Amino acid sequence: MQVTSRVTMNFPRLHQLSQAAVDALEMTAEALHTEVVQAQRMPFDTGHLEEDATFVDGKAKKSGKMSIVSATPYARRLYFHPEYSFKKDENPHAGGEWFKPWLPGGSKQNFAKRTFQAFYKRIGGV
């Protein structure tokens, strides 16, 4: 018995799907950033941390990594000390560890996965 097979690779489509994954990853990071801001969980005094100093960094997006960066000297201190007394005038849910609901074990832990899937399906056409 002799069996033969032939495989034809559609390289343009594979490249398109790879690029769709990169684009979906970037859009997911932006959506997560927006979600956190709209949830009003970040400390808000002058608005600098939430509005200007926190941004999505996509330097490593081609390798599948995105970062949401808070580029202030006090962001780390505020994030890792939820015991501080945060003003709740502007953001009623303000406190430390503002990403905690979106991390594993949090109430919104599947947000990034579902958002990425939706963006990938839309962009990639699958």
**Position 95 in a domain:** yes
For the stretch 29-43, pLDDT in tens is 999 999 999 999 999
**Position 83 in a domain:** yes
Single-letter residue type at 70: S
Report the distance separating Cα 36 and Cα 50, nearest Å. Answer: 9
**Position 90 in a domain:** yes
User: Which residue's structure tokens are 């969980």?
Assistant: 41
Which residue blocks in 39-110 are alpha helix, DSSP H? 75-79
Number of folded domains in the chain? Answer: 1
DSSP 110: T
CB 69 within 8 A of CB 29: no
**Position 3 in a domain:** no
Query: 100 CB contacts (<8 Å, ≥6 apart)?
Result: 106
User: What is the band of 45 on the pLDDT scale with cuts at 50, 70, 90?
Assistant: confident
**Position 5 in a domain:** no
**Position 6 in a domain:** no
For the stretch 54-108, pLDDT in tens is 999 999 998 999 999 999 989 999 999 989 999 999 999 999 999 999 999 999 9
Question: By residue range, what is the domain housing residue 119?
Answer: 19-124
**Position 25 in a domain:** yes
**Position 49 in a domain:** yes
Burial annotation 16-47 (CB, 10 A radius, 16+ → b, else e): eeeebbbbbbebbbbbbbebbbeeebbbbeee
CB 66 within 8 A of CB 24: no
With a cut of 90, say whether residue 113 has pLDDT above it. yes
Q: What is the pTM of this model?
A: 0.88
